[in-house]
Amino acid sequence: MKVMRHLPLVLLLLCFAVTFPPVIAQAADHGKARLMELDAYWAKVSRSVREGDFEGYKSTCHADGVLVSGAKKSSVPLSEALARWQQEFTDTREGKIKASVEFRFSQRFGDQSTAHETGMFLYSTVDSEGRRKQEYIHFQALLVKRKGKWKIMMEYQKSKATRAEWDALAAK
């Protein structure tokens, strides 16, 4: 008689055990797939910078994107920032400088069509005389996925960072 009284609870728990693992696994698979897509997005950004591919870089940006600078306490359309950065892409493509950008993340939130990424990037250049410049920057990025492609809506370059902070982020 005691078993019968708990039978509905046992059946409910059994249903949960059978139902939720696939749902949880499916959500985890979608999360992994989204992160793989975003990793590919950041790899395209890095490749575009390294090759001086301005059009490739521009294609990763939403037409209505915004660049926020914590250091300058400013906010401008990303299109204005792109116009300022275009010469460095040209110089890189022509071999006048070598440029690269790497990304590391501390938080990555989102769903199938939005992403908020927090971390740091390291932007490096080497000029024609071999002078190296490295900038470590704390940043946040807000991205949207439209027509199957990720685009950055907002890049918030929060503040300068240090090599020690960069190294610590790699250890996570």
pLDDT of residue 29: 58
Report the distance separating Cα 67 and Cα 78, nearest Å.
5
Please report the pLDDT score of residue 4 as a whole number: 52
Q: What is the mean pLDDT of residues 2-29?
A: 48
166 vs 137: CA distance, rounded Å: 9
Mean pLDDT, to the nearest integer, of 26-52? 88
| Residue 168 binned pLDDT confidence (cut-offs 50, 70, 90) | very high
- For residue 72, what pLDDT is reported? 94
| 138 vs 25 pLDDT, higher one | 138
pLDDT of residue 170: 86
CATH architecture of 2-170: Roll (3.10)
In the chain, domain spans: 2-170
The closest of 102, 90, 105, 97 to 125, measured between CA atoms, is 97
Give yes or no for residue 31 having a pLDDT over 90: no
Q: Please, are residues 85 and 125 in contact by the beta-carbon 8 Å criterion?
A: no
Instruction: Read off the pLDDT band of 2 (50, 70, 90).
Output: low
Of residues 137 and 22, more confidence is placed in 137
Where b means 16+ CB within 10 Å and e means fewer, 96-127 reads: ebbbebebbbeebebeeeebebebbbbbbbee
The confidence score (pLDDT) of residue 171 equals: 77
Q: What is the distance between the alpha carbons of residues 26 and 20, in angstroms, rounded to a whole number? A: 10
Average confidence score pLDDT of the chain: 88
Half-sphere exposure (Cβ direction) of 122: Cα atoms closer than 13 Å: 15
Could you report the per-residue pLDDT of 75-84, keeping only the tens digit for each? 999 999 999 9
Predicted TM-score (pTM) of the model is 0.81
